Amino acid sequence: EKLFECPDCGKHFSQTSKLVVHQRTHMEEKPYECMDCGNSFTQNSNLLRHQRTHMGEKPYECLYCGKSFTQNASLVIHQRSHTGEKPYECLDCGKSFTQNSKLVIHQRSHTGEKPYECLDCG
């Protein structure tokens, strides 16, 4: 049961701690700072994951080719290049993609949406 509601967007959470972390996205509060580069994060776990880039730690290894990654999500996406898996399908034309972000970009070809504007000529 999700008892705690975000007053900004109405999203519900089962724990107050998760609501607090979520609310930082509205306030752009990022209290966890990397001492190596100054990047800041909303959660300590995100900082710890980021710090792997400085330490060269890549604990997630591809069983197909041996390539290693700092994040499991990156490994999962990479492995799709070996398996051919494309789990994100366009409902308009049926074309499939390895990443949801690639599908979102593709869907703009159907809607005509152009979210980026040239700062010089508009």
Q: What would the pLDDT profile of 15-59 be if each residue is shown by its tens digit?
A: 998 888 888 888 888 899 999 999 999 889 999 989 988 999 999
pLDDT of the residue at 115: 78
Question: 14: which 2 tokens?
Answer: 């089962």
Which contiguous run of DSSP H or E holds residue 110? helix 100-111
Q: How many CB atoms lie within 10 A of CB 65?
A: 10
Domain at 58-111, CATH from 1.20.200.10, 3.60.70.12, 3.90.550.10, 3.30.160.60:
3.30.160.60
Using an 8 Å Cβ cutoff, are 77 and 98 in contact?
yes
Domains of the chain: which residue ranges? 58-111
pTM over 0.85: no
Nearest to 71 by CA among 48, 88, 90, 89: 48
Using an 8 Å Cβ cutoff, are 33 and 12 in contact?
no
What are the residue ranges of helices labelled H in the chain? Answer: 16-27, 44-55, 72-83, 100-111
Q: What is the mean pLDDT of residues 58-82?
A: 95
pLDDT band for position 68 (cuts 50, 70, 90): very high
Identify the residue whose tokens are 């492995």. 79
pLDDT in tens, 75-111: 999 999 999 999 999 999 999 999 999 999 999 999 8
The answer on pLDDT for 9 being more than 90 is no
Q: How many CB atoms lie within 10 A of CB 29?
A: 12
pLDDT of the residue at 22: 87
